[in-house]
């Protein structure tokens, strides 16, 4: 798979079909035969599958919460050890989870 992640900043990657496809291929290793990729970046139910897969693949829970900021109200954080954490901000919870997934996929 050629990775558009290298060309885009994962901290500001927009929600939508392109992000959903990257997540689908990278985390679930699937090409969608049905032609319909789940809306991971916009649907809370679908993004929970991403969160579960991240925990399973990387062995650490993904922490989700709200900020006090007006625009980027949600965060997703991955703590691999006490001194290292990766955190992203987004306008919605599903987008925060997917942006974090992009960062972790880029590291792999």
The predicted-structure confidence for 23-56, as pLDDT tens digits, reads as follows 999 999 876 666 789 999 999 999 999 999 999 9
Contact 41, 47 (CB under 8 A): yes
Question: 65 in a domain, yes or no?
Answer: yes
Residue 57 belongs to domain with CATH number = 3.30.2120.10
| pLDDT tens digit sequence for 82-105 | 778 899 999 999 999 999 999 999
Question: Alpha-carbon distance 26 to 103, whole Å?
Answer: 11
Number of domains in the chain: 1
Question: 46 in a domain, yes or no?
Answer: yes
Question: Alpha-carbon distance 46 to 44, whole Å?
Answer: 6
Average of pLDDT values for 71-76?
95
Question: Alpha-carbon distance 66 to 76, whole Å?
Answer: 9
Domain range for 21 = 11-107
Question: 48 in a domain, yes or no?
Answer: yes
Question: 1 in a domain, yes or no?
Answer: no
């Amino acid at each position: 798979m050629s990775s558009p992640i290298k060309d885009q900043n994962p901290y500001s990657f927009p929600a939508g079909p392109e992000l959903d496809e990257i997540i689908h291929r990278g985390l679930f290793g699937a090409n969608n035969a049905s032609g319909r990729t789940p809306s991971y970046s916009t649907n809370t139910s679908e993004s929970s599958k991403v969160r579960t897969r991240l925990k399973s693949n990387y062995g650490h829970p993904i922490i989700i919460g709200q900020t006090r900021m007006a625009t980027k109200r949600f965060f997703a954080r991955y703590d691999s050890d006490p001194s290292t954490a990766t955190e992203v901000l987004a306008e919605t919870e599903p987008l925060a989870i997917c942006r974090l997934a992009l960062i972790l996929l880029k590291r792999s």
